[in-house]
Amino acid sequence: MTTLKTPKGTRDWAGEDVLLRDYIFQTITDVFKCHGAVSLDTPVFELRDVLAGKYGEDSRLIYNLEDQGGELCSLRYDLTVPFARWLAMHRNVKQIKRYQIAKVYRRDQPAIARGRLREFYQCDFDIAGIYDPMIPDAEILSIILEVFKALDLEVTIKLNHRRILDGIFEVAGVPAEKIRLVSSAVDKLDKVTWAEVKKEMVEEKGISELVADRIGEYVRCSGSISEIINVLESNKELNTNENIKAGLDDMNLLLSYLEALNVADKISFDLSLARGLDYYSGLIYEVVLISANQVGSIAAGGRYDNLVGMYSKHPIPCIGISFGVDRIFTLLNARQNKTLSEAVDVYILAAGSGKDWSGLLLERMAVARQLWDAGIRAVFTAKVKPKLLQQFTASEGVSIVVILGEDELATGQVRVKKNIEVKDKETAQKDRGQLVSRDDLVQEVKKLMEKDRSSGF
């Protein structure tokens, strides 16, 4: 018999996991909408030529599909390249703030516990169009911090500038044709030691030890934006390089905007950050949790001004951020100090017993219909004559209970109460709740729900 399991690096979503995932989606989307973003949905696979040559060494991780009808296609690797393709196809779009939440696919070695999968969600926000320098860049960084504040995760943004990094490589003596290769090696410094990175550059990338040592002098520097700007501007060898000068102009301007937005202290300037993807052209950044964790970066992105131009004669400057939903899920799921609201707002319970007791199934259905029509999530036990204690047990975790009794129903009333953990039938019967008219039921339930929301998510 075939062993039943999901393919390596994939997972099923069910129950409370879906609740938490949807909470993450909604929280992030709310921030995007506050900044005027509109939603975009693109196909799960693209023409292979659209994806080719955009990801550097990571191109080996693209899932290629079999030829169907004369078109060579591949599963999307990210949401950025499909967005660039869409922009190239819609030349009438001059400026746009767009977001997309969707699955992407990478033929990687998965590590489930660290949130690294082969099929996983990305949640992207991008600003495309011609704007004055560094204004969209500052807004993107502000959005990142707003999202993680809403998710109650303390993060720092590590940021660098591709032109500064390229300039450092030029000054160090890296040949132009090897800059991207060296960049991908340096990008591993957050995971491995400098000795390992240097070994890769020398033995695999063909860089001399002298050049590698010069690279190491610079790329291991990090600090506040103002500190690293001062380090670079005080180095005469570096500040005469045209790429570095242009990058520093951007960083000085960005710093003034971030200070105005009151977020500069949440950002570090890290010269080891390289971002391995080929399409980045300016500012690049990654987001990491301040406390130690095993999941690595939980969001990343950068400026990619030239990507749309690879598909069209009309390039459009772009900058974006991609949130790793699965890694964020891993962090929130492991956190014990807060829990997510349950999937159900109200449990409808029938009180009664005895041989002649009807079980009030039809009445429970009618009350459920009343709550459903009001958009309230409600359930009841799917039995004709459920036992009282069984119903209380089933209601655990639901914040509000509506109790139906024959005497109360005869006068057009039900009982509503905040749920408590019940240990036995006697305790369950003590708190009978507040008598409420059926006509006022929805209003009273919504009042209790609002109190729950004001006390936490």
Known binding residue 27? Answer is no
DSSP string, 174-187: --GGGHHHHHHHHG
Residue 303 counted as an annotated binding residue:
no
Q: Enumerate long-range contacts of 352-361, CB under 8 Å, 24 or more apart.
A: 352/388, 352/405, 352/406, 353/387, 353/388, 357/385, 357/406, 358/385, 358/406, 359/383, 359/384, 359/385, 359/386, 360/404, 360/406, 360/409
- Which candidate, 311, 61, 315, places its Cα nearest to that of 184? 61
Q: 């570095």: which residue's tokens?
A: 244
Q: Three-class SS string for 309-320?
A: HHCCCCCCCEEE
Provide the 3-class DSSP secondary structure of residue 92.
coil
240 is known to lie in a ligand binding site? no
Partner residues linked to 25 by β-bridges: none
Non-local CB neighbours of 33 within 8 Å, separated by 6+ positions? none
Among 227, 267, 24, residue whose Cα is nearest residue 140: 267
Q: How far is CA 145 from CA 295, 384, 403, in A?
A: 18, 51, 44
User: Is 55 labelled as part of a ligand binding site?
Assistant: no
Rounded Cα–Cα distance for residues 444 and 102 (Å): 38
**Is 218 annotated to bind ligand?**
no
Is there a binding annotation on residue 275? yes
Please check if 126 is assigned to a binding site: yes
Count of alpha carbons within 13 Å of 152, Cβ hemisphere only?
A: 11
Please measure the distance between the N-terminal and C-terminal CA atoms of the chain and give it in whole angstroms: 45
Q: How far apart are CA 351 and CA 225, in angstroms?
A: 65
Instruction: Identify any residues that bridge with 123 across adjacent strands, giving them in sequence order.
Output: 101, 323
Give the distance, in angstroms, between the CA of residue 172 and the centroid of all CA atoms in the same chain. 37
Annotated ligand binding at 2? The verdict is no
The answer to whether the annotation marks 77 as part of a ligand binding site is no
**Dist. CA 299–CA 127, nearest whole Å:** 16
- Known binding residues are 78-80, 106, 122, 126, 275, 279-280
- Known binding residues for L-histidine are 78-80, 106, 122, 126, 275, 279-280
